[in-house]
Every structure is written in C-alpha cells, then in structure tokens.
C-alpha cells in the first residue's frame, strides 16, 4: 500500500471555507471550496458540502467542467453526474482526502 502524500487534507484537515486543490493525476488543479470543516484522518471521500470552483487539468477535467459553480452536499452527487460521461465512467478518487491539499484557508 502506498504511503499517503504529505500535506493532504487527510493529514491536515481543513477549516470551513477553505479552498482545496487536487494534487493527483485524476484531479490535478481541481479546486473546491468546502462549506464546513473537514477533520484530519480521513483518506476517503471528503465528508462535507462543497462548491466546485475550477475543473482543473486532471483526467476527469472535461467531465467536471459543467459542474463549475455548482454546490454539492456529497461526493456521490458529483460522481453520479460525471460518470454518465464515458471518459469519467471509472471516476472514484477525485474528491478524496488523500488527493486534495488546502490551497487557501478561506
């Protein structure tokens, strides 16, 4: 099993209003603003509501682009919308604590 990347939300957590940025190939440059604080220690999907600010340049950027400006209560909502695109049918870890870092604390 690979070691988690240092400085990810899994390690640091994030305060309410923080902007998170994708750091992995699947979500590179994806930017979201979280609506509530995310506690550290969780490597799976972020557990709080968020707004998509920028689709980035990662693997699923084209599928995420139509969601820019939208708010979501859960990651499942995003995945349900983008997985209809053939290029994103296998999207899973784009909004995980282990693939996002705090860009600004809000």
Is the model more confident about 43 or about 102? 102
Can you tell me the distance from the alpha carbon of 86 to that of 80, in angstroms, rounded to the nearest whole number? 12
User: For the segment 51-100, what is each residue's pLDDT rounded down to a tens digit?
Assistant: 999 999 999 999 999 999 999 999 999 999 999 999 999 999 999 999 99
The answer to whether residue 3 scores a pLDDT higher than 70 is no
* Structure-token pair, residue 34: 């979280």
User: For the segment 14-61, what is each residue's pLDDT rounded down to a tens digit?
Assistant: 999 999 999 999 999 999 999 999 999 888 899 999 999 999 999 999
**5, 18, 73, 90, 101 from 36: Cα distances, Å:** 23, 9, 11, 27, 15
């Amino acid at each position: 099993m690979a070691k988690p990347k240092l400085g990810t939300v899994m390690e640091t957590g994030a305060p309410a209003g923080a902007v998170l940025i994708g750091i992995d190939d699947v979500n590179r440059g994806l930017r979201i603003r979280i609506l509530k604080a995310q506690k550290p220690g969780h490597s799976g999907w972020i557990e709080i509501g968020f707004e998509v600010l920028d689709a980035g340049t990662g693997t699923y950027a084209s599928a995420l682009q139509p969601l820019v400006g939208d708010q979501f209560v859960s990651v499942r909502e995003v995945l349900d919308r983008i997985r209809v695109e053939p290029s994103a049918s296998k999207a899973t870890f784009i909004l995980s604590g282990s693939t996002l870092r705090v860009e600004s604390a809000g």
